[in-house]
Amino acid sequence: MTIRFGGVVAVNKMEIDVRPGEIVGLIGPNGAGKTTFVNAISGTYIPAEGSIRWHDEEIVGRSPSYLARIGVGRTFQNVASLNDLTVLDIVKVGRSVRKPSGGLRQFFFGNRRQDNDLTDKFLEPLGLADHRDSPLQVLSYGHRKAVDIARALAGEPDLLLLDEPVAGVAPAEAFALAGFVKRIRDQLGCAVVMVEHKMDVVMSTCDRIVVMAAGAKIFEGSGAGVQSDPEVRRVYLGDA
């Protein structure tokens, strides 16, 4: 995959395979192209070259809404765009993406059984049940990040793209969020690509790690391998 903005190449010949039930960590220095790569997979950007296939379907050029309907879900670094909605309504929006008509009907007119099911499945494990009727804007930053994960998971994705899901979150909250992602992965059997800088979370959560630098892949392998690779240490981890 190659992504250009004008004459500038942001991602160059980046390739990754993700299997169902696997959590792949995508790490690298700031500006490496990690979020740009995720934006291409989720339909926000269209690559200048290359192929993106999911379930044997070519998805380059498909809209984000179409990709959501076929099971490609994602979180975002900035979660402020839904500030005026309640926590439960945000999760219901996430649920609606796989079945837009029925989901939206239930969103506008309410469904107590569905509301309780979403609360039990996605809000309670994240410590959000008591906040389900609160607008997003009154929550702490850590809770907002948790709501965004709950929204993405409520669509029961087959491929979940997590863009720095625990950035700026306290260590205890970060490990709790990562643990929840692993439990849901086990329940849904979905593939997960997680962009993250917190290496302790990456090492404890991911089955495999891919490292990007200057828009290209420079390493792919185990956590032990990434820590000992000299090029990864040079461009990202350092010698400490």
Q: What is the pLDDT of residue 93?
A: 87
The 3-state DSSP class for residue 237 equals: helix
How many domains does the structure of the chain reveal? Answer: 1
Please state the φ and ψ torsions of residue 57, each to the nearest 5 degrees. -115, 135
Unique residue bearing structure tokens 């625990």: 166
User: Residue 221: pLDDT above 60?
Assistant: yes
Q: List, for residues 55-72, the tens digit of each pLDDT value.
A: 889 998 899 999 999 999
| pTM of the complete model | 0.89
Residue 102: predicted pLDDT: 54
For position 40, which CATH number holds?
3.40.50.300
pLDDT at 100 over 70: no
As a whole number of angstroms, the distance between CA 162 and CA 35 comes to 10
Structural domain harbouring 168: 3-237
- In this predicted model, what pLDDT tens digit does every residue of 113-129 receive, in sequence order? 888 999 999 999 889 99
Digit-coded pLDDT (tens) for 137-193: 999 988 999 999 999 999 999 999 999 999 888 999 899 989 988 988 888 899 999
DSSP 51-104: --EETTEE-TT--HHHHHHTTEEE--S--GGGTTSBHHHHHHHHHHTSSHHHHH
Q: Which amino acid is at 67?
A: L
